[in-house]
Amino acid sequence: MLIKLRKKGIAVSSPILVLLLLILGITLFNGYLLTKSLKTSIYKDAFLVNKLGQIRGSVQRYAKLKLQHISADFVKAQIENDFNIIDELAKNGYFPKEKESQFKYLYNKVRHSWNELKNENDCDAILILSEKCWEEADKLTSYTARVSEYKNNLLLKKVSYITLITAILILFIIFFVYFMIKKGLEKEKIIDPLTKLYNRRHFIENFNYFIDLYERYKRPFSIIFLDIDNFKKINDTYGHQKGDEILINLSKHIMQMLRNTDLAFRYGGEEIVIILPETELYEAFQIAERLRQSIKEKIQIKSKPVTVSMGVGTYKGEGMFSFIERVDEAVYRAKRAGKDKVIISQ
């Protein structure tokens, strides 16, 4: 359908693009944070597993030194220090909730066995307790490694989701920008750059559409031809820049005055044509008269009113060029009658 209705919200494309870019920025930032969190988690988990492995090995060394009646204070201090580091590292919230209680259970068993071992002096008991402590430390180390893998897989999934969302957003932004550029180029083809009204080419396209409606369904339509009075004199007296300013202000005012279904076009120079769908001659004349009076009141140059001459006609099936010529002739009759008038085309 070639009817191009006026839209007051065309400029929404820019805020939408800004919003999309903002969402993309937030998504990328979240992805960065998750990736950083994953790297930190991998490093901390490796450090934790390594410390647990050190405790496991140090327990064996401690027992061996004790059984040989050699001072093991240095190894004991090292084990205590490793436990303190793990206590600080594995605080609440470090592990997923569903894994935290099991870790604490196994960890407390290792600490309990170690406390028993370090306070034991009997050789047989030291041997038994060292084996027990080693086995429990080994279970804890293995469990921590599995939890680390589980936790990092969760983070990897989140990173994957963020990556997927980012890719989708980037593709959407590319298509959106492409669509807006295409829309902008299409708009440039049908919009007059000075007045922002539709151009003559688009007028012909829409005019043919309304002729088709008339021929198929006998749906009426009228047009108003509008010509600015003394426009050449305005350009000669005040300059072409002032003349352009008058055209721009006049076009804006016309758009404000028309109905949503009416279409305004710059036909050429200072000529503007308006298509009035579903409008008979008498109603078209009333619209034109209101528009003429409003322009005279609102559009001025150096405190002098700008006036327009108009021709109004309703399509009778004679074809596009004959109809345009008939209404254009009414404009010339308005000029000859003193200007600032609306003349009905017969």
At 248, give phi and psi (nearest 5°). -65, -50
Q: Which residues are the active-site residues?
A: 270
CA distance 267 to 198: 9
At 199, give phi and psi (nearest 5°). -95, 180
CA distance 287 to 224: 9
- In whole angstroms, what separates CA 168 from the centre of its chain? 12
At 270, give phi and psi (nearest 5°). -100, 15
Cβ atoms within 10 Å, residue 4: 14
Helix (H) / strand (E) containing 343: strand 342-344
CA distance 251 to 249: 5
**Of 85, 60, 89, which is closest to residue 75 (Cα–Cα)?**
60
Residue showing tokens 């983070």: 155
Burial class (CB in 10 A: 0-12, 13-18, 19+), 225: buried
DSSP H stretches of helix in 191-312: 200-217, 231-238, 240-257, 281-298
Token code pair at residue 238? 């005040």
Token code pair at residue 342? 């609306």
